[in-house]
Structures are given as structure tokens and as C-alpha cells.
Amino acid sequence: MSIRARKILKITRNIATEKRYGILQPNGPILPKNATLSLSIYALHRDPVNFPDPERFDPERFTQENHVGRSPYAYLPFSAGSRNCIGQKFAMLKMKSLLSKILRNYELLEDPEHKLVLPAETVLKSTSGICVGLKKRSS
């Protein structure tokens, strides 16, 4: 057994380098040889078929009940298959624990003046930052 590094994010693929040439149809392949495929992760994560009302913040999308019937490849940070995130369960537990602690002690406030600027890059992050206000909950 050997340990080797694997690419964790590949969003383009040249068909000529593949052993298989995609989905074949009766009158030939859908994609011509040497075609390059690109995947828009931003669009994939906002597909209304998998994520209704995709621009709304809804952590409930990722509960076990709401995950039924959705492809494990629909959300890439955890994904599935040979490149599945081995820290997925730990990351989710840590995130839930932290979020629970914050929400028990604080109320989150939106800054209506702040506008997110989301460039089309491999990793989605706001170039204008994210502004969230915290208001201590009364006991």
C-alpha cells in the first residue's frame, strides 16, 4: 500500500486523455474527441432541481431527510466516490457544535448596507467580505 497525493479539485477534463469517451449514442458520441469539459461549481451548487430556492441560506438542505434522492455528487465540498472528503463527519460535527454555541448565545444580524461581491473563481468567496452582526441574547 502506498500513500500518494490526489488532486482534490479538477473542474476541466480533456476527452482525448480519457480511456472512455463519454456517453455514446446510436449515431456517435455526444462529445467530439479532444473536446474540453468545464464544470461550473457555482452553478452546480445553485441548481434549483437539487437545491430549491438556491440563493436562500438554508442549512436544513443538508439534513438526512432532505438529502434523500439527491445525488451525492450534487454538492462538491463533501461529494462521493474515490475522492470523498475523509473529514466530512468530523467537519459537520465541528460546524454544528460551533454554530449551536453561537446561536444559543447570540442573535445574527444582517447588514442591509453590505453587498457581497462574488467573483467567478474556483473557490467561492466574497471579495468584499461578509458582514454579520452579533447581538448577545438575554438570558
Work out the end-to-end distance of the chain between its first and last CA atoms, rounded to an integer number of angstroms: 55
Does position 11 have pLDDT exceeding 60, yes or no?
no
Binding-site annotation: residue ranges for heme: 85
Query: 98: buried, middle or exposed (CB in 10 Å: 19+, 13-18, 0-12)?
Result: exposed
pLDDT tens sequence across 16-64: 544 444 555 566 666 666 677 777 777 888 889 888 898 888 888 888 8
pTM: 0.44
Higher pLDDT residue, 2 or 63?
63
pLDDT tens sequence across 64-120: 888 888 887 788 776 666 667 778 788 889 999 999 999 999 999 988 899 888 887
| Residue boundaries of the structural domains of the chain | 3-76
Binding-site annotation: residue ranges: 85
